[in-house]
A and B are shown apart, each in its own frame.
Chain A
Amino acid sequence: MNAITPREPLDLDAMPDEAFRLHIRAWIEENYPPELRNPPKRLHWEENKVWYLKLAEKGWLCPGWPREYGGLGLSPAKQIIFTEELERWGCARCNDHGIIMLGPLVIRYGTEEQKQRFLPKILTGEHIWCQGYSEPNSGSDLASLRTEAVDMGDHYLVNGQKIWTTLAQDANWIFLLVRTDKTAKKQEGISFLLADMTSPGITVRPIVNLEMHDEFCEVFLDNVKVPKENLVGQLNKGWDMAKALLSFERIYLGSPRQSAYALARLRQLAEKMGVADDPLFAERYARHRADLEDLKALYARYVAVLKQGRPLGADVSQLKVIQSELFQRITETALEVAGENAALFGPMEGNRHLNPGALYIQARPTSIYGGTNEIQRNILAKNVLELP
């Protein structure tokens, strides 16, 4: 097998946890661009590529990938430490769809040729990926998607439209769920295709969100030719693969990081507003803190499942609901504490840690993306509790 040489020669996974943590921390502190700490918005590629490329060069871009594919081969527990350290220093989120979604999918389902073709380019930052699942009429009901790929012998001809595609304007590759069989049951006629965004027929139109930021896009596909070898996995088996990825997405979205970040900001805000010692505030704060610790405890149990190499069950949905709603509640408390300052679009007194209005707005879509919280509750009620 032609393995991809890891850029990090050390087996970091073998280090004791605390030594590992300090090792990561020291490197981050030395190498992270200071002007990018705690950015108020999701950064575009032009802004964050310095950091992406630094991680890439160090060989630390893909902590979760196996070492033979250029990753660090870290256990889930170590990956969490890694993430905690990135968050501790306020590191920006990279254009990471290739790292956290497409890469693992190709590793699991791709052919050897596809692994060789795509994985190294994620590792070098040559390919930046975006996720083309949702469509205007297929959001919660994703399986009803209508973007169609027709077999033309030597290629697929793709027509349709994707929407809410995060950072599509930065990406040069898109992974798509497309309909390849219109006669089958809706979940059974879907395939997983990879498309070069520079192909003729692909148009990207950014959409401004409530932060007044162009973070997601519409992607139009008009007679786009996609080579046959860009099909991942079997024809008409795309839905099962996408579903397998979703449980990873849910544990990622269930990570306590957003709530922990918001709680730290709430503490700073309370001090600034002079209410940190107010008993009413203290009670509310104590509740958020305890909620956060409980979330961490629950999260750790799912991490332990991963650690044993077992699959996550459908009940991982609860992690995403609990996390997003805690994050939202904390930002709601912050609005109240901030009083009139809550109305501000920008930070208070130019201090970007004190921007309760923006944090509140950022917390809103967490109960929508990655499957809305209503859909997660449906899953819990039907698939986990098996209610009629």
Chain B
Amino acid sequence: MSAAGIAPFDEERLESISMIRDSARGLLGADLARVRALRFTEPGFDPAKLAEMGQAGWIGLAVPEQAGGAGLGMGEAVALAEELGRALAPEPVIPLMLSAHLLAAAGEETVLPLVLAGEAVALTAWQDRANTLEPAASADGARRFVPMGAGASHFLWPVREGGRVALHLLVRDMTEVTNETTQDGGHLSTVRPEPFVGHGPGSHIADDIGEALAEGLDRAALLTAAALLGGMEAAFAMTLDYLRTRQQFGRVIGSFQALQHKAADAKMQVALTRAAVEQAAAALDAGATGDAARALVSRAKARASEAGMLVQQACLQLHGGIGYTDQYDVGLYLRRAMVLAPAFGGAALHRRRFHALTPETEDA
């Protein structure tokens, strides 16, 4: 895949990013048989593989070194997420990166090392409804849309108290987990805490992680955008191969101008997504914070969520009947995109947030 211009990172960063990419490709492999075998099963991912990913430093990639992470930036994290998306890995690496971020911010030292090692699956159960970036309103209500909760060992449970957001940690036994299958053969879980006394369920581990949560959700949104980008590129590459080999009317179908234009349109969406994702990653690494950082993340996720669906739809259409079969891989990417596009905020939500956070200049 061509680079679509020059990425906004210096030489040294580009080298570190490319190392991450290579290591990710090595560990993930190009064969989708593993992914297929895990679909529609529980827990839906391979715990041994997750431990390898932990050992490779993926979960703590952007966690500071003093907290046990690799201390790398979003540039590297985004490259990793892209590879996860390209390989359709079902392991909940991005949700675990969010949890690691919160545990590090809370100064937690018992579960965090296990999470970083890929040995504990502590998932953050933060939302109580769809289409939101706000933590749940009540401490005891059900938490929704927790990815791959069937394999969870713990749940992180943000609890709003006045203007603050406390963090609680629940071992899995203190909850009731129900799983709903998703289009990609994974699942989303609804988690209910057992009845408790006091301010929240499980053990209270921090008084206020409000800022860390907002920041962690933003990073997760950006990483999810990158995973969508990886999926788009993979499906698009398969589609270009198909356009170059499939023949109808005595010609390769890629010679039909109607299809060339569809492919060109998809290519532009991929280029815009990469530009927006890498711009946001570079800005975060350069220290952007507050509204400016959020707006960049939102623009990237809005683009990736929308482009992800548009490109996957185009890839399906360009394949004709075979794209609509489960045995052909292109549909796997569409169905993963259906899960990732709304995760950590969909296109409409992020577009609105981008607009609200960026005052327009008066000139022109």
Contact = CB atoms under 8 A, between A and B. Distances in A.
Interface stretch (A18-26, A72-80, A304-312, A343-351): A343-351
Contacts of A332: 309
User: Which label, helix, strand, loop or mixed, suits the secondary structure of the B interface?
Assistant: mixed
Contacts of B188: 340, 343-344
Contacts of B347: 336
A219 B115 CA distance: 51
Interface in A26-53: none
Report the contact-size class of chain B (Cβ under 8 Å from the partner): 35 or more
Contact of B324 (A209, A339, A342, A374): A209
Given A212-B326, A340-B144, A163 B321 contact: yes
B182 interface: yes
B321 A338 contact: no
**Residue of B145, B180, B247, B334 with most partner-chain A CB within 10 A:** B180
Interface stretch (B47-55, B164-172, B226-234, B337-345): B337-345
Interface string A256-273: 000000000000000001
A357 B247 CA distance: 32
Contacts of B320: 139-140, 368, 372
B346 interface: yes
A139 B321 contact: yes
A221 B184 CA distance: 34
Interface string B244-258: 000111100000101
Contacts of B343: 340, 343
B249 A140 contact: yes
A133 to B, nearest CB: 12
A207 interface: yes
A365 interface: yes
B128 to A, nearest CB: 11
Contacts of A378: 258
A140 B320 CA distance: 9
21 contacts: A137-B247, A138-B248, A140-B248, A141-B249, A207-B327, A209-B324, A209-B326, A335-B338, A338-B342, A339-B130, A339-B346, A340-B130, A342-B342, A343-B183, A343-B343, A345-B180, A361-B335, A364-B313, A364-B316, A365-B324, A378-B258
Interface of B: 127, 130-131, 144-145, 180-185, 188, 247-250, 256, 258-259, 309, 313, 316-317, 320-321, 323-327, 331, 334-335, 338-339, 341-343, 346-349
Interface of A: 134, 137-141, 144, 163-164, 207-210, 212, 216, 273, 280, 332, 335-336, 338-346, 357, 360-361, 364-365, 367-369, 372-374, 377-378
